């Protein structure tokens, strides 16, 4: 039986269309939040920008429903927070010699070397009473992986560690770390601590990166995160540009 922090609840399915969509549907029916929805398999998993997300059995598919977790300006912090919680959870189930290659790619992809092992999708929806429902969807390749995902090679935890990583074991650690990180974040008041933790676990800070936007690609030096978690890119002319949504790559990595 899976154990999660006392202030949270958990419902599990063998198969579901989408854990995110199910959580949002429950919010519309009056669900109070702090609810995890997990599934052994998704038939309609979706990644960022509507991309299909590979959802094979043996991997972790989990969504956390929160109701009014922070003022609207703070909702954008949650991808950074979630990435640090996933990184910590994966560290817990990986042997020490493998952990060093685990890094976060801005804002919330988890990489092992150059290969993606986790994706995070945040969705929010206004409710009729003026509150906001926020769902954080997390997909982790535990035992299987596609050839590529969102332009990157992919890997799974069992392959990289040499040990069988069960999604149930990883979920227990994830639920614990999400509860702890949300407490530290304190509805946005503790963003500085979350940002510091993210930078400690990140890849690419101080390196040249390519950011793919809907209508252009720009290259520059990944300087830092701004106060709200945006990527500050130093351009060739010496000016800074802050990116709040985009796909980050390294010039040496084919994409």
Summarised one tens digit per residue, pLDDT across range 69-109 is 999 889 999 999 999 999 999 999 999 988 999 999 999 99
Residues 217 and 178 in one domain: no
Tell me whether residue 2 is in a domain.
no
pLDDT in tens, 153-172: 999 999 999 999 999 999 99
Per the CB < 8 A criterion, the answer to whether 80 and 194 are in contact is: yes
CATH number at residue 64: 3.30.930.10
- Which pLDDT score is estimated for 254? 45
Domain that holds residue 217: 208-249
Tell me whether residue 1 is in a domain.
no
Residues 173 and 82 in one domain: yes
Residues 67 and 105 in one domain: yes
Strands (DSSP E) along the chain, which ranges? 9-16, 35-42, 60-67, 102-105, 109-112, 115-126, 132-140, 148-149, 152-153, 208-212, 217-225, 231-234, 240-243, 247-249
Residues 191 and 158 in one domain: yes
Residues 120 and 228 in one domain: no
Residues 239 and 172 in one domain: no
Tell me whether residue 62 is in a domain.
yes
Q: How far is Cα 58 from Cα 187, in angstroms, rounded to an integer?
A: 33
Residues 135 and 212 in one domain: no
- Which pLDDT score is estimated for 80? 97
Residues 153 and 217 in one domain: no
At a CB cut-off of 8 Å and minimum separation 6, what does 68 contact? 33, 131, 132
pLDDT in tens, 119-158: 999 999 999 899 999 999 999 999 999 876 666 799 999 9
Tell me whether residue 255 is in a domain.
no
Residues 147 and 225 in one domain: no
Residues 64 and 169 in one domain: yes
Alpha helices in the chain (DSSP H): 19-28, 72-75, 78-93, 96-99, 157-161, 167-185, 191-201
Tell me whether residue 160 is in a domain.
yes
Tell me whether residue 4 is in a domain.
no
How many residues would you count in the chain? 255
Residues 75 and 44 in one domain: yes
- For the chain, the domain total comes to 2
Residues 196 and 224 in one domain: no
Supply the pTM of this predicted model. 0.92
Report in angstroms the alpha-carbon separations of 117 from 38, 71, 139, 147, 241.
18, 31, 8, 11, 28
Tell me whether residue 254 is in a domain.
no
pLDDT in tens, 180-217: 999 999 999 999 999 999 999 999 999 999 999 999 99
Q: How far is Cα 182 from Cα 162, in angstroms, rounded to an integer?
A: 31
């Amino acid at each position: 039986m899976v154990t999660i922090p006392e202030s949270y609840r958990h419902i599990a399915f063998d198969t579901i269309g989408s854990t995110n969509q199910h959580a949002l549907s429950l919010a519309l029916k009056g669900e109070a939040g702090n609810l995890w929805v997990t599934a052994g398999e998704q038939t309609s998993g979706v990644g960022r920008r509507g991309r299909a997300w590979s959802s094979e059995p043996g991997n972790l598919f989990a969504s956390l429903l929160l109701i009014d977790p922070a003022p609207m300006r703070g909702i954008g912090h949650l991808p950074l927070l979630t990435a640090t919680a996933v990184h910590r959870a994966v560290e817990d189930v990986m042997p020490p010699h493998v952990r060093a290659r685990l890094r976060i790619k801005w804002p919330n992809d988890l990489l092992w070397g150059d290969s993606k092992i986790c994706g995070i999708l945040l969705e929010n929806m206004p409710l009729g009473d003026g509150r906001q429902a926020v769902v954080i969807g997390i997909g982790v390749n535990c035992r299987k992986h596609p050839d590529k995902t969102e332009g990157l090679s992919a890997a799974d935890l069992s392959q990289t560690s040499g040990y069988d990583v069960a999604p149930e074991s990883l979920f227990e650690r994830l639920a614990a770390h999400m509860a702890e990180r949300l407490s530290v974040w304190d509805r946005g008041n503790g963003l500085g601590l979350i940002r510091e933790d993210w930078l400690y676990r990140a890849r690419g800070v101080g390196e040249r990166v390519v950011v793919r936007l809907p209508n252009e690609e720009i290259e520059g030096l990944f300087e830092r995160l701004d106060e709200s978690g945006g990527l500050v890119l130093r351009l060739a002319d010496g000016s800074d540009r802050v990116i709040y949504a985009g796909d980050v790559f390294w010039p040496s990595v084919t994409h």
